[in-house]
Amino acid sequence: MLAFVISVPGQPRVASPCTMTIAKSPTLFGFKLGMSQAESEKITGRTAKEDYILLKGSGDRFVQYPTGNMSITIFNFEHDSTVVDATAESLSLSFMDGKLFEIFFSLNSTSDWVKATDTAAFFQKKFGIPAGAWFDDPKNREEGERTASCNGVTIDFATLTSTSGTPMMRFTISETTVRARVDAAREAAKEKHNRNN
């Protein structure tokens, strides 16, 4: 069995068995990692569009750089689900080579996910990800965002406060290697942009 190992400075390394894999990843709002882009488009009723990173150039001009993947974004998406509450304030699906590699969604304060007193333990129960497998990734953009990486699957979540002051959550599950390719394309676009502007 594969184990996820965390190393904390000044503490002994602790191994936590992590059973999540791409094949065992949950179905969320009707979507599962690895499903086809065509099947996802059928569920949403929308066609995926090329994904760009938008960077500000000289003056008020913005420049678009393609990242090599396709995406669909929907607001207030409803779908029956046994894992997550039925409505996402926003849902984004990302595709590479015709396959779904990342699911992102945000939930508001009515969600059991947001109301959980111990979110890591909640995920442990829902996904079989041990509470000890979560760590703070310095690359995360949100304060308090937690990450777990299990057998080719990366999960990030952050509990936040909305502009209206109510609690909310952002959640991402992705195929680790494909996400790394897209992140590398984004970084390359930023470097190219900085050289040219």
Q: Write out pLDDT tens, residues 21-57.
A: 999 998 999 999 999 999 999 999 999 999 888 887 7
pLDDT in tens, 115-167: 888 877 787 788 888 877 888 777 766 666 888 888 999 999 888 888 888 88
Contact 178, 170 (CB under 8 A): no
pTM of the model: 0.83
Neighbours of 32 (CB within 10 A): 17
Q: Let me know how long the chain is.
A: 197
Tokens representing residue 169 in the block = 């959550």
Residue 102 neighbours by CB distance under 10 Å: 20
In Å, how far are 33, 72, 115, 138, 194 from 149, measured between CA atoms? Answer: 15, 24, 24, 14, 31
